[in-house]
Amino acid sequence: MPYVVDEKGFYGDFGGAFIPEMLHANIEQLKENYVSIIAEPSFQQEMQCLLKDYVGRPTPLYFSKKLSQTYRAKIYLKREDLNHTGAHKINNTIGQILLAQRLGKDRIIAETGAGQHGVATATVCALMGLECIVYMGEVDIARQAPNVSRMKMLGATVVPATSGSKTLKDATNEAIRDWINNPHNTHYIIGSVVGPHPYPDMVARFQAVISEEMEWQLKEQTGRSYPDLIFACVGGGSNAAGAYYQYLDNEQVRLIAIEAAGLGIDSGESAATSVLGSKGIIHGSRTLLMQTDDGQIIEPYSLSAGLDYPGIGPQHAHLISSGRAEAVSVTDEEALDAAFALARMEGIIPALESAHAFAALDKVAFGQDDVIVMNLSGRGDKDLRTYIEKLERI
């Protein structure tokens, strides 16, 4: 079964480009050009150079002795937390800004929830000297003040989305409206493997650098270029898509997708889309999403802002529905405990999103001495306030 996108933009039943007529020309321009632009030697050279000297790649693949002893396996951490701006998101914004330049665009828009993608976008816009407008829900602006300040310091304009629940999906609607009104000079940088085709595939290609490095790093350290299992958290699914990319067709590699259960799957306060979701259309693609019987989107909940999304990317919907990937859900409390365990065991404070993946080590059965790669998608600086609240409860 093919796990990459087909020529119509689908992954099995999922994907496609369900967009307003007014966006057709923009999406068509991207679709016609993205593969060939990315393949150009000058594009590759510029991107590789920035990934190395600006982002700090390759990120290390670190063997954790203590986790390995605890779980009786060989556990490696892929250190995306060491990237510039603190997470994997910059891999995608670097790629998309270079693409935007080659498409002749000089104005960049983006949506952001917690502000991580907004910061990664504002960063590359500053680097390239392009105008940057970030749409962000009014509620999120209040909750994520440090990231709003970062974006402003980097020269971006942060525009509050004041409709609906005033969160990520409303910010996304505002960004789409902006693109419809400014089709010629503007590129929309989407932050995960979501949205209409070709975004899910394009973002996955930019994040694929994660598994490209893993192959040679594993070869060096274990003598074999693939692991037995890969663990990655899934909000929209971009860090997971990048960590899986080189191994999609290697069925010896088990792909573990960790979703946020929030207060619990049955609590009504959750973001475990693959369990609670059903087929529907969100932000331009057909995928699994949390919705009521009459198709209204259900507000998701997770303590971690990066996993607090009512859908998952169409490739993940396909991987999970077909059985290629195994979905596991992890609650807020389990993730918090895993974050503290990793901090004390290894001296690494993970992002709360990434901590969900570590909590799943307790929930998946694997063989003794299996080689496991944990994709450590980001660092925990941004979550310090949440961690301090937990400390005060211990």
Ligand X SMILES: *Cc1c(COP(=O)(O)O)cnc(C)c1O
Q: Smallest gap, in angstroms, from Cβ of residue 149 to ligand X? A: 17
Told to judge if 105 belongs to the known catalytic residues of this protein, a careful annotator would answer: no
Q: Smallest gap, in angstroms, from Cβ of residue 89 to ligand X? A: 6
C-beta of 74 vs 234, nearer to ligand X: 234
**C-alpha gyration radius of the chain:** 19
Tokens found for residue 376: 């450590």
Sign of the dihedral defined by the CA atoms of residues 115, 304, 71, 207, in that order: negative
C-beta of 116 vs 285, nearer to ligand X: 116
Beta strand 131-137 with 229-233 is unpaired
Q: Smallest gap, in angstroms, from Cβ of residue 104 to ligand X? A: 28
Q: Which residue is nearest to ligand X (CB)?
A: 378
Give 252's Cβ-side CA count (13 Å radius): 7
Q: Smallest gap, in angstroms, from Cβ of residue 258 to ligand X? A: 10
Do residues 363 and 339 touch, judged by C-beta distance below 8 A? no
| Chain positions contacting ligand X, by CB under 6 A | 87, 89, 116, 192, 233-239, 306, 351, 353-354, 377-378
* Marked catalytic residue, from 74, 89, 166, 382: 89
**Alpha-carbon span 255 to 198, nearest angstrom:** 23
**Alpha-carbon span 179 to 384, nearest angstrom:** 35
C-beta of 74 vs 382, nearer to ligand X: 382
* Marked catalytic residue, from 80, 111, 259, 353: 111
C-beta of 315 vs 354, nearer to ligand X: 354
Q: Smallest gap, in angstroms, from Cβ of residue 30 to ligand X? A: 19
Do residues 9 and 34 touch, judged by C-beta distance below 8 A? no
C-beta of 161 vs 351, nearer to ligand X: 351
C-beta of 156 vs 194, nearer to ligand X: 194
Q: Smallest gap, in angstroms, from Cβ of residue 87 to ligand X? A: 4
Told to judge if 377 belongs to the known catalytic residues of this protein, a careful annotator would answer: yes
Q: Which residues are catalytic?
A: 89, 111, 377
